[in-house]
Amino acid sequence: MQWDRIIQQLEHILGTEFRLERLPVAKWNRNADDAKSADKSRTIEGRNHFLLYKDGGHLQTASVEEAALTISEKQLVELMLEAQRMNNKHTMTSAHSEDERKAGVIRAWVADQLEQGITDTELPETITRSFPLYASKIPLLVYGDYSDQRKAAYQDLKKLLESFFDGEIALIPLLDKEWLVLGPESLLHESGDGDEETMEEMLASLGQALHEMLATEWVGECHVAVDYPMLPAKSLLASIYRLRETMSLGRTYHVADNIHMPWRLQLEKLLQPIGEEQRQQFLERVLKRVDLLKEAEMITTLEQFITLDCSVSETAKKLFIHRNTLLYRLDKFKQETGLDVRTFHHALLVHVALLLYKVTKRT
């Protein structure tokens, strides 16, 4: 923003020294007066502070001794700095508008390819020439679970994401509530505690952190799907297709989750093509008494037991129940269905049955 150059020019014209300072917004507001220029300058502790720009909860100012300027000189400084702020604002708006235009071109190309049934092809050179898509990026698909009346502005979301990622990102609006975010792969190499994490664990943590930030700072609840890093110029379309599939599977089979990853949904992907009649037949053949799954307590118990690798002690702890209470429920289920989920084979059958039941009861 050329603020140093502007301050040097003022010092040369007025023959006095300015000092760059950072003030809390609260302190600035406490010193408001009735002057017309109150939003452009403040007199604080014997110094005139001129507003340069806002930075979160602080303001960057240029200050000078109160007695160093006449009223006319003070007004001149205010006008000069205001003109610079307006110029900066116009420049930033133009840059954002250009980014949004380029993102719109990619959006139209993606929609056209998918409409034709094409799910894996490289971006045309006409697009890659004007968009930085040759560096490896982490693809994240965000779906805003907000009402149709609420609109998320491209510029607001991009600014929020750049602050979260602490760097440049690419933002592509795919549908009204669906956004593709391409984050820097370098985030995976910035381990906070030095622990050895797998790539899957790091990506899961990134997706969780992004969801928490968006749910708090954006327009409400949302879902996030995350995939392995890729080269957008080569694999953007395939990545979008895979992320959409991941989002759909996650929201279908795990309605309580907000973070969805393809490596956690491989069995769900295998089961998805099974038709309704085949699902019902499987449930009746395996469980014998499908009505048992209408009991919320039984479903929760079975899901937690399988999720925790069939550990009796860990499941009892997770459910806040006594070990004997858990064993009683498992024995009851075995008595009613003939399935002992403490064995691998039966646990696998029940796991598949639970996944299919979640889909069947909503169709």
pLDDT in tens, the chain (363 residues): 467 778 888 888 888 899 888 888 888 887 665 444 446 888 888 899 988 877 656 788 889 998 889 888 888 888 888 887 777 665 555 445 778 888 888 999 999 999 899 999 999 888 887 777 778 999 999 998 776 656 678 888 888 898 888 878 899 999 888 999 999 888 887 655 556 789 999 999 999 999 999 988 886 789 999 999 999 999 999 999 999 999 999 999 998 899 999 999 999 999 999 998 998 899 888 888 778 778 889 889 999 999 999 999 999 999 999 999 999 999 999 998 999 999 999 999 999 999 998 887 655
Question: Beta strands 222-226 and 259-260: pairing type?
Answer: parallel
User: Which domains are seen in the chain, by residue range?
Assistant: 1-91 (no CATH), 98-265 (3.30.70), 274-361 (1.10.10.2840)
CB 232 within 8 A of CB 180: no
CB 265 within 8 A of CB 249: yes
- Report H helices in the chain: 3-14, 25-30, 71-115, 125-128, 154-165, 199-217, 232-253, 266-271, 276-287, 296-307, 312-319, 323-337, 344-360
Nearest by Cα to 228 from 210, 250, 203: 203
DSSP state of 67: G
- What does the pLDDT look like over 151-207, one tens digit per residue? 678 888 888 898 888 878 899 999 888 999 999 888 887 655 556 789 999 999 999
**Cα Rg for the chain, rounded, in angstroms?**
29
pTM, whole model, 2 decimals?
A: 0.68
CA distances (Å), 334 to each of 222, 346, 356, in order?
39, 10, 19
